């Protein structure tokens, strides 16, 4: 039994031993063991301090721990509370000031309500049912409340590392400390009425507060958000503190949106917050003392009552008043100088404004606010007053403004205000009044008033302002009445009034209230503008400074004369009518400084008299239906020396312009012209004539317009057919757009040959023909206007060079009796002139009658006659120098050519007048001329192949005739006399023997023999003509044929160019243009010889010659429609055997595109052997060689003729060969070349005469 008891005792001892707590921190255990009634560490469940070790066994058992409700183990060097879970009934735990670290999990102590564990190193804390928590100054990154937090009233987590504690939804919470944590966003949900204090959190940026989710509002006594240095955003609703929400000391605040709060006070918030940053909807708003902002601008604060108080540093205050506002109060605003009040929409009620307490106010602006009264007393510093508001009682609305000693500017816009009195404002400078109900406007004692504006737009004419009096305003400078509805006006003692304006130029309604406007005795008035007024009558008297008058949509008379206004410069009148009255007669007289007159919409104008204003007028514009119902249809402008611009539109039929040296711009669209002459306007640069109203032909002529740059003749339909701009050398832009209804218009002809090939803009329709300066201009125009691809371009619409405005004219005579040239002396035909213009060389050749008219441009020109044989003659004068425009054009100058000794020199040429066609007649013209100084007599021989043709006739009967030869005698051929003989032969057909076929060569020879000739080479002429079956009537031929001997290189070759008019009308002017390869031709040697009609020759480019047939009226009937020109020109001496030279001509008939002739090519034959030559048809040889007397020709073909040349290329003889032998006995000893002609070949051989 004793053993059993022992076992029981031992077992009980083990159990007791097992219930003691094994502390992991001895300091924690020691602190508990030291507790007692006198050492206040632990309380029992009854709330009394006691000893935790109740049995004094120096242990704390579980049961002993369960008896503790309060435990204070602060500052005990405890490092852990691992055994704290054994204290299951603990209510309060104080463990501050220890060395606790890591996590503290108290979730198992459900009874624990109060925790004070600050100043440790804890990393997290968990407590289930907290009421009071202080864990400040730890290393917490988190704190957890997993249980019931409805009774949580106090939280202090300052100076930790908690970032995620962002939501406070604790209904009993009254104090919250969280500064020193990285908390940037915080949401607070509150209900009940417990006051809640939110302590500053330095890093907080966003704060949201709401009533809790159960929909119960939070109604504390007050709620303050104060001293949050980084707080940017506040948003809340459902929190309604009884004493209001206070926002203060929030320097970073950028946005606050609060609704449901009855009262909000704002103090010292971010001065840079934008006007809409405070989005508040409250009953009462207080803007309290502000020390950090000089400007407050609020546009999103909506309240019924506004209080602006104690803003001791605010100088600028701008607010939008809510539409339901009832009160606005101002108190203690010592430095406020600018106040702007406005509203969002028309207000529901009216406000009484008392600004008398703001003595510092300098600028007051009220916009869109309804008011009952405005108290401006005591505003002794006020300078600017702007009221754009609405009177609440229109029937009795009155505004009195007086006694404000510094007021300078008044702006009042009130659509209901009836009476306004402006008096005793000694500094007022600018007064602007807007309204539709004014009936009385009184102004007095305004000594410095400078500008006055009254706008009564939309005011009914039944309620006008009775009298608008401007009396005794010594500094008034400008009066503006916008749409004045005024019964009467008066002007007295306004010595400085400069501008008077009525109406709005954009308004089309004319005032229905007539009033007399008497502008008299206003010495400084400079600008008078009457727009949309009803002025009747208008008096302008004693206005010595008036410079400008503008009258629009204002009838002031049916007939009126502007006169006796000594400084008037500008008059602008538009639509001068009202009802059924119109301005019909207008005159200007005695206006010594008038410069500009603009008249527009004068539908009933009958007369326009410009009186004596022609000497100063610079610009005149008549626009839009100048006489639609009136009788004015003609205007004349003569001797207006200063006139620069004319704009005349429309319905004019006649316009005369003369002596207008400065006219620069002429616009004459929409008139009814048949003919319009634009002439002698040296300064005109811009011309416009669009939409001429007549349906008949419209002709515009331009002459002497040297400065014209732009022409616009668009939309003239098909009535405008031709434009000649050849006298507009500066033209850059041309506009000819589509006609009405977008139908493309086409001009038949436009002449742009004006010496300026550099058109910059061409915006046009189509053209049939365009005359241009050169082909480069054609290319440029087509690049500017692609639709000109099918237009015919020419440069020969005129026969003078582009821009030629000056001429030298005269005649050339041969002084046949050496007594000076007179009318009895013969003409010197085709005299050639060299023209030197500043180093640029050109030539001009007179016509067959010796007459010349040389076109020249501006500049200095030296004109020198050029003779083929200058040693034969003397010329007087030797040259002529002219300068244009210094000299008057045309300059008349004759040239007299006299003999320089006796010189015998005849010249003969054989011209094929027609083609050689088998079986048809062929005509040949023998042209012979005396180029010497003495009369000559002699004979002419014409040789041909009698086997291939039959001589029929000659225009001069021959002196003798034999087989293949016809001869004529001539007598007394005078110097420079030219005569012609036309020979007709009948050619063989292809079926005759011998036959004549296309491609055969016909060889002709002609010779003239007179006295011993100084240049015998041109006494003989050989023609080699190719037989054709069909031919082009416009062709070019080298009369020497398709080849020349090398000995002829450097000598003249002869060309014939023929043309035929195949059109349907006479060709007035014809130009034959020939371009030479100057590496093969010496163009300076060119000499015109003969032509079918009179012509002149011109060389203006180094390689271009023009043969000009002016006004020849070449018929188009087949019998008379042919013409030709012949000339000779030397080849370059550098040509060698095998070289060739080609030539093509262009023939221009009037304005048509050129006809291009064939290209005729002639080859220089290679050097021949000494005895014979072979070709593909025959073999020809000569013998003996050397020869003494008879030279024989061996050939299987008939020899037609031979020509003998010396080594210098001069022709010595041309004879028909008989019996294939030739007598050369008379030739001096030396080397010669013989050219042998057969039917189908020409052979050149050398021989030596012994």
Edge-to-edge, what's the strand order for the sheet holding 1201-1206?
1211-1215, 1201-1206, 1230-1237, 1242-1249
CA distances, 1064 to each of 767, 1034, 1061, 1115 (Å): 21, 17, 8, 9
569-622 confidence digits (pLDDT tens):
999 998 877 655 678 899 999 999 999 999 988 888 888 999 999 999 999 998
Per-residue burial over 1030-1050, b if 16 or more Cβ lie within 10 Å, else e, is eeeebbbbbbbbebbbbbbbb
Predicted local confidence at residue 5, as pLDDT: 44
At 976, the pLDDT band (50, 70, 90 cuts) reads confident
Which structure tokens are listed for 157? 């987590």
Cβ-contact 142, 160 below 8 angstroms = no
Cα(235)–Cα(133) distance, integer angstroms: 27
Predicted local confidence at residue 202, as pLDDT: 94
Beta bridge partners of 812: 895
Cα(407)–Cα(387) distance, integer angstroms: 14
Cβ-contact 219, 198 below 8 angstroms = no
Q: What share of the chain is helix, strand, coil (3-state, %, to 5)?
A: 5, 45, 50
Predicted local confidence at residue 143, as pLDDT: 95
- Is the pLDDT at 169 greater than 90? The verdict is no
At 912, the pLDDT band (50, 70, 90 cuts) reads very high
Which region, left, alpha or beta, applies to residue 238 given φ > 0 means left and ψ of -120 to 50 means alpha?
left
At 8, the pLDDT band (50, 70, 90 cuts) reads very low
User: 3-state SS string over 760-821?
Assistant: CEEEECEEEEEECCCHHHHHHHHHHCHHHCCCEEECCCCCCCCCCCEEEEEEEEEECCCCCC
- How many C-beta atoms surround the C-beta of residue 130 within 10 A? 25
- Is the pLDDT at 930 greater than 50? The verdict is yes
Which structure tokens are listed for 613? 């204003």
* 67 vs 468, residue with greater confidence: 67
- Is the pLDDT at 1186 greater than 80? The verdict is yes
- Is the pLDDT at 18 greater than 50? The verdict is no
261-275 confidence digits (pLDDT tens):
888 999 888 888 888
At 800, the pLDDT band (50, 70, 90 cuts) reads low
Q: State how beta strands 121-126 and 206-211 pair.
A: unpaired
Cβ-contact 911, 1056 below 8 angstroms = yes
Cα(930)–Cα(979) distance, integer angstroms: 9
Cα(226)–Cα(207) distance, integer angstroms: 12
User: Using CA of residue 1131, residue 1133, residue 1134, residue 1137, what is the dihedral sign?
Assistant: positive
Beta bridge partners of 394: none
What percent of the chain is predicted at pLDDT more than 90? 47
- The mean-pLDDT minimum among 43-57, 102-116, 421-435, 449-463 falls in 449-463
1184 upstream amide cis, omega within 30 of 0: yes
Cα(253)–Cα(210) distance, integer angstroms: 19
Domains defined along the chain, listed by start:
2-143 (3.80.10), 911-1031 (2.60.40.740), 1032-1165 (2.60.40.740), 1168-1250 (2.60.40.3080)
Average pLDDT of the segment spanning 1197-1225: 78
Cα(127)–Cα(115) distance, integer angstroms: 8
CA within 13 Å, CB half, 1221: 8
User: Using CA of residue 1126, residue 1132, residue 1137, residue 1138, what is the dihedral sign?
Assistant: negative
Cβ-contact 190, 209 below 8 angstroms = yes
299-317 confidence digits (pLDDT tens):
788 888 999 899 888 889 8
Predicted local confidence at residue 1177, as pLDDT: 41
Average pLDDT of the segment spanning 530-554: 88
User: Using CA of residue 956, residue 959, residue 965, residue 971, what is the dihedral sign?
Assistant: negative
CA distances, 121 to each of 92, 125, 361, 388, 1075 (Å): 20, 11, 60, 67, 112
Cα(668)–Cα(1241) distance, integer angstroms: 71
Cβ-contact 1237, 1215 below 8 angstroms = no
Continuous segment of H or E residues that includes residue 1221: strand 1221-1223
DSSP symbols for 1160-1201 = EEEEEPPPPPSSEEE-SS-EEEEESSSBSSEEEEE-SS---E
Average pLDDT of the segment spanning 124-130: 96
Cβ-contact 803, 755 below 8 angstroms = yes
- How many C-beta atoms surround the C-beta of residue 1241 within 10 A? 18
Predicted local confidence at residue 817, as pLDDT: 87
From 1196, 1195, 1194, 1202, select the one nearest 1234 (Cα to Cα): 1202
- The mean-pLDDT minimum among 92-96, 371-375, 930-934 falls in 371-375
Average pLDDT of the segment spanning 226-251: 89
307-353 confidence digits (pLDDT tens):
989 988 888 988 888 888 889 999 999 999 999 998 877 777 788 88
Cβ-contact 1124, 1136 below 8 angstroms = no
Predicted local confidence at residue 1168, as pLDDT: 43
Which structure tokens are listed for 667? 């616009």
SS3 1209: coil
- Is the pLDDT at 744 greater than 70? The verdict is no
Per-residue burial over 447-462, b if 16 or more Cβ lie within 10 Å, else e, is eebbbbbbbbbebeee
Cβ-contact 588, 613 below 8 angstroms = yes
Cα(681)–Cα(702) distance, integer angstroms: 9
Which of 16-20, 257-261, 395-399, 518-522 is most confident?
Answer: 518-522
- Is the pLDDT at 7 greater than 80? The verdict is no
SS3 723: strand
Predicted local confidence at residue 1209, as pLDDT: 63
- Is the pLDDT at 4 greater than 70? The verdict is no
Rg (CA), the chain: 60
DSSP symbol at 356: T
Q: What is the mean pLDDT of the chain?
A: 87
Average pLDDT of the segment spanning 32-57: 95
Predicted local confidence at residue 6, as pLDDT: 44
Cα(730)–Cα(705) distance, integer angstroms: 9
Cβ-contact 628, 605 below 8 angstroms = no
Residues in the chain: 1250
Please identify which residue in the block is written with the tokens 């042209």: 927
Cα(545)–Cα(938) distance, integer angstroms: 94
Cα(1197)–Cα(950) distance, integer angstroms: 20
Cβ-contact 187, 208 below 8 angstroms = yes
Cα(534)–Cα(362) distance, integer angstroms: 40
- The mean-pLDDT minimum among 20-29, 162-171, 213-222, 374-383 falls in 213-222
- Is the pLDDT at 1174 greater than 60? The verdict is no
Average pLDDT of the segment spanning 161-167: 90
- Is the pLDDT at 1032 greater than 60? The verdict is yes
Predicted local confidence at residue 1221, as pLDDT: 82
* 865 vs 512, residue with greater confidence: 865
Which structure tokens are listed for 43? 């309380």
Per-residue burial over 825-861, b if 16 or more Cβ lie within 10 Å, else e, is bebbbbbbbbbeeeeeebbbbbbbebbbbbbbbbeeb
Cβ-contact 324, 304 below 8 angstroms = yes
- How many C-beta atoms surround the C-beta of residue 592 within 10 A? 13
- Is the pLDDT at 3 greater than 50? The verdict is no
Cα(1141)–Cα(1164) distance, integer angstroms: 8
DSSP symbol at 31: H
DSSP symbol at 983: E
Predicted local confidence at residue 928, as pLDDT: 96
Average pLDDT of the segment spanning 123-152: 95
- How many C-beta atoms surround the C-beta of residue 863 within 10 A? 23
- How many C-beta atoms surround the C-beta of residue 1223 within 10 A? 11
- Is the pLDDT at 1027 greater than 50? The verdict is yes
Give phi and psi for 753, each to the nearest 5: -80, 85
Which structure tokens are listed for 688? 């416009």
- Show the CA angle centred on residue 486, arms to residues 481 and 488, nearest 5°: 110
Cα(374)–Cα(392) distance, integer angstroms: 12
Please identify which residue in the block is written with the tokens 């083990």: 14
- Is the pLDDT at 15 greater than 50? The verdict is no
* 394 vs 935, residue with greater confidence: 935
Predicted local confidence at residue 168, as pLDDT: 86
- How many C-beta atoms surround the C-beta of residue 799 within 10 A? 20
From 153, 111, 159, select the one nearest 135 (Cα to Cα): 159
Q: What is the pTM of this model?
A: 0.58
- Is the pLDDT at 642 greater than 80? The verdict is yes
Which structure tokens are listed for 1240? 């189908």
Cα(813)–Cα(821) distance, integer angstroms: 6
- The mean-pLDDT minimum among 83-87, 470-474, 790-794 falls in 790-794
At 567, the pLDDT band (50, 70, 90 cuts) reads very high
Cβ-contact 306, 327 below 8 angstroms = yes
Which structure tokens are listed for 1237? 């002609």
- Is the pLDDT at 384 greater than 90? The verdict is yes
At 521, the pLDDT band (50, 70, 90 cuts) reads very high
């Amino acid at each position: 039994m004793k053993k059993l008891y022992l076992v029981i005792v031992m077992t009980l001892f083990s159990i007791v031993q097992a219930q003691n707590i094994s502390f992991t921190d001895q300091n924690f255990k020691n602190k508990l063991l030291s507790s007692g009634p006198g050492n206040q560490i632990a309380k029992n469940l009854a709330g009394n301090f006691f000893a935790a070790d109740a049995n004094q066994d120096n242990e704390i058992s579980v049961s002993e721990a369960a008896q503790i409700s309060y435990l204070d183990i602060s500052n005990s060097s405890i490092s852990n509370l691992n055994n704290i879970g054994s204290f299951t009934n603990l209510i309060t735990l104080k463990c501050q000031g220890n060395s606790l670290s890591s996590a503290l999990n108290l979730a198992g102590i459900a009874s624990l309500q109060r925790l004070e564990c600050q100043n440790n190193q804890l990393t997290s804390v968990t407590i289930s049912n907290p009421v009071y928590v202080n864990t400040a100054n730890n290393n917490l990154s988190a704190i957890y409340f997993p249980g019931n937090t409805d009774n949580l009233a106090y939280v202090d987590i300052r100076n930790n590392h908690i970032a995620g504690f962002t939501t406070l939804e604790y209904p009993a919470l009254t104090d919250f400390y969280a500064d020193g944590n990285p908390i940037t966003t915080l949401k607070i949900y509150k209900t009940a009425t417990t006051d809640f204090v939110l302590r500053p959190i330095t890093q907080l940026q966003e704060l949201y507060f709401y009533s809790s989710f159960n929909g119960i509002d939070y109604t504390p006594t007050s709620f303050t958000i104060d001293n949050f240095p980084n707080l940017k955003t506040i948003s809340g609703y459902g929190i309604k503190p009884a004493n209001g929400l206070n926002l203060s000391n929030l320097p970073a605040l950028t946005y606050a949106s609060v609704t449901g709060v009855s009262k909000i006070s704002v103090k010292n918030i971010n001065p840079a917050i934008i006007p809409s940053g405070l989005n508040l909807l409250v009953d009462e708003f207080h803007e309290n003392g502000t020390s950090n902002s000089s400007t407050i601008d609020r546009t999103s604060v909506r309240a019924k009552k506004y209080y602006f108080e104690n803003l001791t540093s605010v100088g600028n205050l701008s607010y939008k008043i809510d539409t339901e506002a009832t009160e606005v109060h101002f108190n203690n605003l010592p430095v406020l100088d600018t106040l702007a009040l406005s509203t969002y929409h028309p207000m529901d009620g009216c406000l009484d404004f008392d600004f008398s307490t703001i003595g510092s106010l300098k600028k007051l602006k009220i916009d869109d606010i309804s008011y009952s009264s405005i108290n401006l007393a005591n505003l002794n510093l006020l300078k600017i007053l702007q009221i754009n508001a609405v009177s609440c009682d229109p029937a009795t609305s009155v505004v009195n403004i007086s006694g404000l000693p510094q007021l300078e500017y008044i702006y009042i816009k009130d659509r209901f205000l009836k009476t306004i009195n402006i008096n005793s404002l000694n500094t007022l400078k600018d007064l602007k009044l807007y309204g539709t109900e004014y009936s009385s406007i009184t102004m007095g004692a305004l000594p410095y008033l400078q500008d006055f504006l009254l706008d009564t737009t939309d005011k009914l004419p039944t309620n006008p302002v009775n009298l608008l009096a401007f009396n005794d305003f010594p500094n008034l400078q400008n009066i503006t009445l916008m749409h004045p509805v005024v019964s009467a006006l008066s002007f007295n003692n306004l010595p400085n009034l400069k501008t008077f304006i009525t109406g709005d130029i954009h308004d089309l309604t004319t005032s229905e209230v007539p009033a007399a406007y008497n502008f008299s005795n206003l010495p400084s008035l400079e600008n008078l503008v009457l727009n949309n007024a009803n002025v009747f009558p208008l008096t302008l008297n004693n206005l010595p400074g008036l410079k400008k008058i503008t009258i629009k949509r204002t009838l002031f008379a049916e007939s009126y004369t502007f006169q006796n206004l000594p400084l008037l410069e500008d008059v602008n009148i538009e639509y001068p009518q009202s009802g059924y009255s119109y301005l019909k007669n207008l005159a200007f007289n005695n206006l010594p400084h008038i410069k500009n007159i603009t008249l527009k919409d004068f539908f009933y104008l009958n007369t326009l008299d410009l009186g004596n204003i022609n000497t100063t007028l610079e610009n005149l514009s008549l626009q839009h239906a100048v006489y639609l119902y009136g009788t004015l249809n003609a205007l004349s402008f003569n001797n207006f020396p200063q006139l620069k611009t004319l704009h005349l539109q429309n319905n004019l039929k006649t316009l005369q312009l003369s002596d207008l040296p400065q006219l620069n711009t002429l616009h004459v669209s929409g008139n009814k012209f048949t003919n319009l002459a634009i002439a002698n306007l040296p300064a005109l640069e811009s011309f416009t004539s669009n939409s001429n109203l007549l349906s008949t032909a419209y002709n515009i002529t331009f002459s002497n317009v040297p400065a014209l740059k732009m022409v616009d003749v668009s939309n003239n339909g098909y009535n405008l057919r031709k434009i000649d701009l050849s006298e507009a050398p500066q033209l850059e832009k041309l506009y000819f757009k589509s006609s009405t209804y977008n139908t493309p218009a086409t001009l038949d002809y436009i002449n742009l040959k004006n010496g300026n090939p550099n058109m910059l803009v061409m915006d046009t329709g189509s053209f049939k023909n365009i005359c241009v300066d050169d082909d480069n201009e054609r290319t440029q125009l087509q690049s500017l206007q692609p639709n000109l691809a099918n237009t015919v371009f020419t440069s020969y619409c005129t026969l003078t060079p582009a821009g030629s405005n000056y001429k030298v004219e005269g005649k050339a005579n041969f002084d046949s009796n050496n007594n000076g040239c007179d009318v009895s002396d013969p003409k010197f035909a085709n005299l050639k002139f060299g023209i030197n213009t500043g180093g640029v060389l050109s030539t001009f050749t007179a016509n067959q009658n010796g007459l010349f008219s040389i076109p020249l441009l501006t500049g200095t020109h030296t004109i020198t006659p050029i003779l083929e044989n200058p040693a034969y003659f003397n010329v007087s004068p030797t040259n002529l120098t002219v300068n244009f425009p210094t000299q008057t054009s045309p300059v008349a100058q004759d040239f007299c050519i006299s003999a320089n000794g006796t010189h015998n020199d005849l010249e003969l040429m054989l011209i094929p007048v027609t083609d050689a066609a088998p079986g048809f007649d062929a005509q040949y013209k023998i042209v012979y001329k005396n180029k010497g100084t003495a009369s000559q007599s002699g004979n002419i021989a014409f040789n041909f192949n009698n086997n291939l043709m039959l001589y029929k006739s000659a225009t001069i009967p021959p002196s003798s005739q034999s087989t293949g030869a016809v001869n004529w005698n001539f007598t007394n051929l005078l110097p420079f006399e030219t005569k012609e003989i036309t020979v007709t032969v009948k050619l063989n057909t292809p079926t005759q023997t011998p036959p004549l076929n296309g491609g055969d060569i016909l060889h002709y020879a002609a010779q003239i023999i007179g006295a011993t000739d100084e240049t015998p080479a041109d006494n003989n002429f050989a023609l080699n003509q190719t037989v054709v079956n069909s031919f082009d009537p416009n062709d070019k031929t080298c009369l020497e044929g398709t080849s020349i001997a090398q000995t002829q290189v450097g000598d003249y070759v002869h060309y014939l160019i023929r043309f035929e008019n195949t059109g349907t009308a006479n060709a007035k002017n014809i130009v034959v243009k020939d371009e030479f390869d100057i590496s093969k031709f010496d163009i300076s040697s060119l000499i015109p010889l003969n032509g079918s009609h009179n012509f002149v020759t011109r060389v203006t480019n180094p390689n271009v010659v023009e043969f000009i047939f002016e006004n020849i009226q070449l018929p188009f009937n087949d019998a008379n429609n042919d013409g030709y020109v012949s000339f000779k020109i030397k080849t370059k001496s550098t040509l060698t055997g095998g070289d060739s030279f080609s030539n093509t001509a262009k023939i221009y008939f009037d304005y048509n595109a050129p006809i291009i002739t064939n290209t005729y090519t002639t080859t220089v034959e290679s050097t021949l052997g000494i005895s014979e030559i072979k070709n593909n048809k025959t073999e020809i040889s000569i013998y003996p060689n050397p020869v003494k007397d008879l030279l024989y020709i061996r050939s299987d073909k008939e020899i037609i003729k031979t020509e003998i040349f010396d080594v210098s290329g001069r022709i010595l003889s041309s004879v028909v060969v008989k019996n294939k032998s030739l007598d050369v006995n008379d030739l001096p000893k030396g080397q010669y070349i013989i050219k042998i002609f057969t039917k189908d070949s020409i052979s050149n051989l050398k021989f030596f005469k012994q």
